[in-house]
Every structure is written in structure tokens, then in C-alpha cells.
Copies of this chain bind each other. A is one copy, B any other.
Amino acid sequence: MILIADSGSSTTEWRLLDGESISQYQCIGLNPYIVDEHIIRDTLSQLDIPFDKITELHFYGAGCGSYEKSDIMQTVLQSVFSCADVMVYSDLLAAARSLLQKNEGVIGILGTGSNVAKYKGDTVVPFSTSMGYILGDEGSGNALGKRLLKAYLGDKLDKDLILKIGLDKATILNELYSHSFPNRYLASFAKLMFRNRTHPQVAQLIKQSFDEWVEVCLLPHNITSLSLCGSIAFYFNAEVKRSCEHYNILVTYILEKPIAALALFHKAYQ
């Protein structure tokens, strides 16, 4: 049996290929920068997967782009899936294989975090170091959440919108700075922004966020077309395309989650 995982900062999607049948599982995101080995083991133990029957594990993960972190992940996964060939790849390769299979191109992720890379049909090379939610993640759910909270805490939002946020300032600051996963907390506000995306102030914050993403992450690398995956790219596809078009950048495909296309990729090329 072949097991495939795609782990973002918020969620990990699993697909189990057993001949023609495909089973699905889901758990929290297993980003090694954010969750430790103990949490990874604990989370895996709660999955109803036939661990000893897995012969191949293809694990694609956010935070697995560096050798150090992918080594840690490899060791943890190998100890749990002791009978399997374990392969750990970056989440960027998941995006590339799901969007382009074996064709060359530029791909990006806009989810809880963000990233952009060049895909050569087999390997994927990020244009720059992924800086995470404190320093980077332009255009991501984190970045959208940051903009909304800054506007709210800075008294720049209309009363009707504040009522919809339904939180007070002390609660937000407390949650943000005591939350185990501040990146997920920030990104949770992207849903609220999606529901209120026609409100002029929210529309403006969304536009600023994607414009910043284009200016910081695409223009300096002379990117003229790309394909995207991730929940933010998918749900805000109209706004993402609008920001890209404004700078003459073509968005070719947008996929919400790579996992289905990834499962097909491994079925086709196993």
C-alpha cells in the first residue's frame, strides 16, 4: 500500500492507495518548525492507518524544505512506518506535482503561509527563503489576518465590521501572544474576511495584501505566469487574479488542495 501525505501549516491530508481503492485521512498540520517530535508521534498514533502494511510513504510538508528539518521528519516517520520506504519532500513539490505533473513552470502556495518556486519538471527551487509568519508569508492567510487585526486594533474599522469580528482588543492580543500556533490564529481571520469581502474596508485590505505579495514575491523574480494552490488562492481567486493582472502576471491554474492530484501523480508514476 502507498501512503501519500500533504501537510500544510494547519492541516495534513492523507491518501492511502490500495490497488484501485483510495482511502482518506486528515490530521493537524505537521510543520516541524511549529510542532515538535512528540506532537507528531502523538498525532500519527491517533490515525487509523494500517501502519505495518505501508510499503511506500510520500510525505510532502510545509517546513520540510530544509535538510535539517526534513531529516528530523524522515527519522520520526521511519520509526512509525518501520516497514515502508519513507520519502520526505517540501510542500512546494506537492504544489508543483499536483499543478503541473511533470511540466515546467512557476508555482506558488497561498494558504496559512505563502511561498513561490520554480519547477523544472522534477525538482523545485524556491525563489527565496520562506520567512514564516513573523517575517514573511506575504499574501497568505497570516498576512490577511495581520492586516485585519492591525486595522481593528488601530481603530480603523467601521462599527458594523467590528460587530462582525465579535471580539474585543484584549482577547485578540491575549490569544495572539499566548496561542500555541499564532500563525493559525492569524489565518483564522481570513475566513471572516472572505465572508465580508464585499465590505469596502475588507476589500481594500485584501487588495493591499495580494498587491504586496505580487510586489515582494513575484515582481523581483520577473515572474510573468504561475499556477497556485492553497485555500487562500482558491477562495480569493478573483482577488488574487485581479492583483496579478494589474501587474501583467497570468495565473494559469488554481487548486485548493494538492492531495487529489498528488494521489493521481503517484498512481500514474509508481
Q: A residues engaging B (CB < 8 A)?
A: 33-34, 66-69, 128-129, 131-136, 146, 149-150, 153-155, 169-170, 173-174, 176-178, 182, 186
Contact of A173 among B33, B146, B153 (CB under 8 A): B33
Residue of A69, A132, A177 with most partner-chain B CB within 10 A? A177
Contact of A129 among B34, B129, B173 (CB under 8 A): B173
Residues of the B chain whose Cβ atoms lie less than 8 Å from the Cβ of A178: 33
* B146 and A129 form a contact (CB under 8 A): no
Closest approach, in angstroms, between the C-beta of A186 and any C-beta of chain B?
Answer: 8
* A66 and B170 form a contact (CB under 8 A): yes
Known: A169-B129, A174-B33, A174-B68. A136 touches B155 (CB 8 A): no
* Main DSSP-derived SS at the A contact region: helix
Please give me the residue from chain B that is nearest to A155 by CB atom.
B128
Residues of the B chain whose Cβ atoms lie less than 8 Å from the Cβ of A176: 132, 134-135
Known: A33-B178, A178-B33. A173 touches B128 (CB 8 A): no
Residues of the B chain whose Cβ atoms lie less than 8 Å from the Cβ of A174: 33, 68-69
Complex Cα distance, B33 from A150, in Å, reads: 18
Closest approach, in angstroms, between the C-beta of A198 and any C-beta of chain B?
Answer: 25
Complex Cα distance, B43 from A135, in Å, reads: 30
Complex Cα distance, B129 from A131, in Å, reads: 26
Residues of the B chain whose Cβ atoms lie less than 8 Å from the Cβ of A149: 131, 135
Residues of the B chain whose Cβ atoms lie less than 8 Å from the Cβ of A153: 128-129, 131, 135-136
Complex Cα distance, B150 from A133, in Å, reads: 12
